[in-house]
């Protein structure tokens, strides 16, 4: 992966952070994107620089069109053309609420941040990837997003991600002949600090909700992304890949709701 440049959105913390570090360890120069976590983003960039790679921290909110455009321009100026785009960032309202209780601003922000902003970033990097005859684009979904199920209390977020499933498949077909692959990663219920941990860090820990029996980690997700970004993975495109340990978080939530089980 040496000589490749990756942009990982939302990479100051969580799954994005772990992904940025994994790509850097494989040889990539990495642009770390953040909205407000400047100190954390600069720390990630420093860790990448310590590996001998080039790194830059760039502020931008991809839910805002002009900032998404500027993000790519800034990265190209600092690190050159973007070979790998990992669309990790996406706003999420943790409070569970009915669709009728969302404000119109909430609806637009969630749709822009999880669907439109991602599409615009892809659109911006495609000319460079086409000119080089090589590119890797990764989208983020949620467990079982490809099945387009209902997800009560998450209507807007779910709609945006399910729309992104179709876009992932379409863009993959359109760009395959240009050496560009497009895939979606669908993480399971990976919680809190585990998003930045290695698999070895949770060895021996139990998770009663997970069929696998252990908690998921950021490395579980990042290692799949790294595999998809390798040159030899060019025959894998247009896929949605669940990384969930077998857990079905949507169905579990729906069943618990029907049974009146309180959310933990």
For all residues of the chain together, what is the average pLDDT? 92
Q: What is the pTM of this model?
A: 0.92
Q: What's the pLDDT at 106?
A: 95
What pLDDT is stored for residue 250 in this prediction? 65
Q: How confident is the model at residue 253 (pLDDT cuts 50, 70, 90)?
A: low
Stronger pLDDT, 257 or 114, i.e. the higher one? 114
Distances (CA, A) of 200 to 204, 215, 217, 219: 9, 11, 9, 9
User: Does the structure show a pLDDT above 90 at 230?
Assistant: yes
For range 33-59, the mean pLDDT: 98
The reported pLDDT for the residue numbered 208 is: 78
In this predicted structure, what is the pLDDT of residue 252? 57
Condensed to tens digits (0 to 9), the pLDDT of residues 129-151 reads: 999 999 999 999 998 898 898 88
The pLDDT assigned to 259 comes to 41
The answer to whether the beta carbons of residues 88 and 9 sit under 8 Å apart is yes
Give the sign of the dihedral formed by CA 214, CA 218, CA 219, CA 224.
Answer: positive
**pLDDT (tens digit, 9 = 90+) per residue, 186-211?**
998 898 999 999 999 998 888 878 78
Give the model's confidence band at 121: pLDDT under 50 very low, under 70 low, under 90 confident, else very high.
very high
Over residues 96-116, the mean pLDDT reads: 96
Q: What domains are defined for the chain? A: 5-259 (3.40.50.720)
Residues contacting residue 40 through CB under 8 Å, at least 6 positions apart: 12, 13, 17, 34
Both tokens of 87, joined, read 């669309």
> Which pLDDT does position 204 carry in this prediction?
87
Q: What pLDDT sits at residue 249?
A: 63
**Three-state secondary structure of the chain:** CCCCEEEECCCCCHHHHHHHHHHHHCCCEEEEEECCCHHHHHHHHHHHHHCCCCEEEEECCCCCHHHHHHHHHHHHHHHCCCCEEEECCCCCCCCCCCHHHCCHHHHHHHHHHHHHHHHHHHHHHHHHHHHHCCEEEEEECCCCHHHCCCCCCCHHHHHHHHHHHHHHHHHHHHHHHHCEEEEEEEECCCCHHHHHCCHHHHCCCCCCCCCCCCCCCHHHHHHHHHHHHCHHHCCCCCCEEEECCCCCHHHHHHHHHHHCCCCC
124, 172, 179, 190 from 137: Cα distances, Å: 12, 9, 11, 22
- Residue 123's alpha-carbon distances to 5, 24, 88, 100, 101, in angstroms, are 17, 24, 16, 32, 33
Compute the distance between CA of residue 81 and CA of residue 125 in angstroms, rounded to an integer. Answer: 8
């Amino acid at each position: 992966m040496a000589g490749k440049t990756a942009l990982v959105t939302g990479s100051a913390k969580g799954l994005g952070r772990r992904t940025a570090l994994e790509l850097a360890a494989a040889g990539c120069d990495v642009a770390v994107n953040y909205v407000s976590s400047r100190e954390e983003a600069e720390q990630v960039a420093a860790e990448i620089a310590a590996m001998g790679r080039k790194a830059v921290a760039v502020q931008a909110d991809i839910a805002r069109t002009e900032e998404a455009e500027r993000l790519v321009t800034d990265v190209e100026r600092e690190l050159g053309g973007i070979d790998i785009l990992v669309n990790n960032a996406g706003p999420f309202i943790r409070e569970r609420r009915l669709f009728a209780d969302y404000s119109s601003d909430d609806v637009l922000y969630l749709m822009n941040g999880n669907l439109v902003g991602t599409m615009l970033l892809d659109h911006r990097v495609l000319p460079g990837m086409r000119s080089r005859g090589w590119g890797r684009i990764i989208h983020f979904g949620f467990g079982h997003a490809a099945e387009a199920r209902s997800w009560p209390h998450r209507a807007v977020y779910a709609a945006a991600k399910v729309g992104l499933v179709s876009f992932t498949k379409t863009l993959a077909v359109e760009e395959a002949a240009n050496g560009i692959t497009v895939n979606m990663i669908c993480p399971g219920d990976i919680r809190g600090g585990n998003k930045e941990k290695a698999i070895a860090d949770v060895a021996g820990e139990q998770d009663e909700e997970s069929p696998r029996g252990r908690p998921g980690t950021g490395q579980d997700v990042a290692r799949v992304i790294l595999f998809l970004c390798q040159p030899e993975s060019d025959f894998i495109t247009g896929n949605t890949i669940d990384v969930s340990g077998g857990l079905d978080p949507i169905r579990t939530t729906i069943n618990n709701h029907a049974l009146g089980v309180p959310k933990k």
